[in-house]
Amino acid sequence: MPHNDPPKLDMKNWKSFIDQYGVLTDSLWLLGERDDSGAHGELHHGGFIPQLPRQALLRFTKPYDTVIDCFSGYGTTLIECRRWGRHGLGVELDKEIFETGQRRIEQEPNNYDVKTLVVQGDSVSFNFREKLQEAGLENAALAVLHPPYHDIIKYGDGVDNLCNAPSLEMFLEKYGSVVENVGGALKPEGYLELVIGDKYGKGEWIPLGFHLMKETLEKGFRLKSICVKNIENTMAKRNRINLWKYRALKSGFYFFKHEYIMFFQRKT
Ligand SMILES: C[S@@+](CC[C@H](N)C(=O)[O-])C[C@H]1O[C@@H](n2cnc3c(N)ncnc32)[C@H](O)[C@@H]1O
């Protein structure tokens, strides 16, 4: 059983809370090294840094609230759920990635005795509410969405995988269906954290972030914040920085050094 209670933002003690946990309150997120402690140790291409779900968990959920991750990948959000005493439900389509995620989540100690369930499924059609009810969990206070940046990284061959959507329009449509679907398993006023970067295609900047923002707004959410985070030392760019600078100059663009973290709230 837990020795003490999970962290809780208390407006009477907000200053000590944000200092103790490094909680951010402005929109420019210059984050340092990826936290590789505990079960986060292994690095997987395409996973996000644990600080991203952590910021949302600490600000927008209370101890033992439920968090849903619709694209749970290698399990980063659910590992954070264990660490900070929140229940978690993750859905991941790709079998191999799902199994890796499951294994990693189990490596994190469960000091607060929370439920962290991960299921192999398609978030477009997955019945989140039913699964929460089955597990004896309430509707979620927070949904975390870190979808593929369309076709930038291949996360398996499945036709339903958003990375294999045959066009940008179909990618957006599928993403919109996931938002609508998970919205039904969120509490009224519950939060949605979207982590997304833009991409290039045929010599053009494709603003995936703004497209997905629009999709989310159309599915019954209000925008609370757009934060911008730095990208440093990703596996792909490490040691190739001069090549990226050369390519940027030659082709008349700027290479990506930022991603978006957008926060939305479900309208009641
Ligand atoms: C950007 S990665 C998420 C990584 C995750 N945040 C982590 O840290 O490990 C996106 C994930 O979404 C999964 N995915 C794509 N389409 C999906 C769908 N329709 N339903 C559920 N998962 C899906 C991919 O297989 C991939 O693992």
- 8 Å CB contact between 74 and 64: no
211-240: pLDDT as tens digits: 999 999 999 999 999 999 999 866 566 678
List the one residue out of 96, 90, 63, 65 whose CA is nearest residue 75: 90
Strand partners, 204: 201
User: Which residue lies with its CA nearest to atom 16 of ligand 1?
Assistant: 161
User: Which residue lies with its CA nearest to atom 13 of ligand 1?
Assistant: 71
| 148 Cβ below 6 A of ligand 1 | yes
123-176: pLDDT as tens digits: 999 999 999 999 999 999 999 999 999 999 999 999 999 999 999 999 999 999
Query: At 226, which amino acid appears?
Result: I
Q: Which domains does the chain have, with CATH numbers?
A: 27-266 (3.40.50.150)
Query: Which 8-state DSSP code applies to residue 22?
Result: T
pLDDT confidence of residue 268? 83
pLDDT confidence of residue 236? 61
pLDDT confidence of residue 181? 98
The rounded Å distance from CA 130 to ligand 1 centre is: 21
| 262 Cβ below 6 A of ligand 1 | no
| 195 Cβ below 6 A of ligand 1 | no
Helices (H), 163-256: 168-183, 208-217, 241-251
The rounded Å distance from CA 249 to ligand 1 centre is: 32
pLDDT confidence of residue 240? 84
Provide the mean pLDDT of the chain. 95
Q: Helix or strand or coil: residue 176?
A: helix
| 146 Cβ below 6 A of ligand 1 | yes
Torsion, Cα of 179, 114, 75, 168 (10° steps): 0
Q: How confident is the model at residue 101 (pLDDT cuts 50, 70, 90)?
A: very high
- 221-230 and 28-29 strand pairing: parallel
pLDDT confidence of residue 232? 81
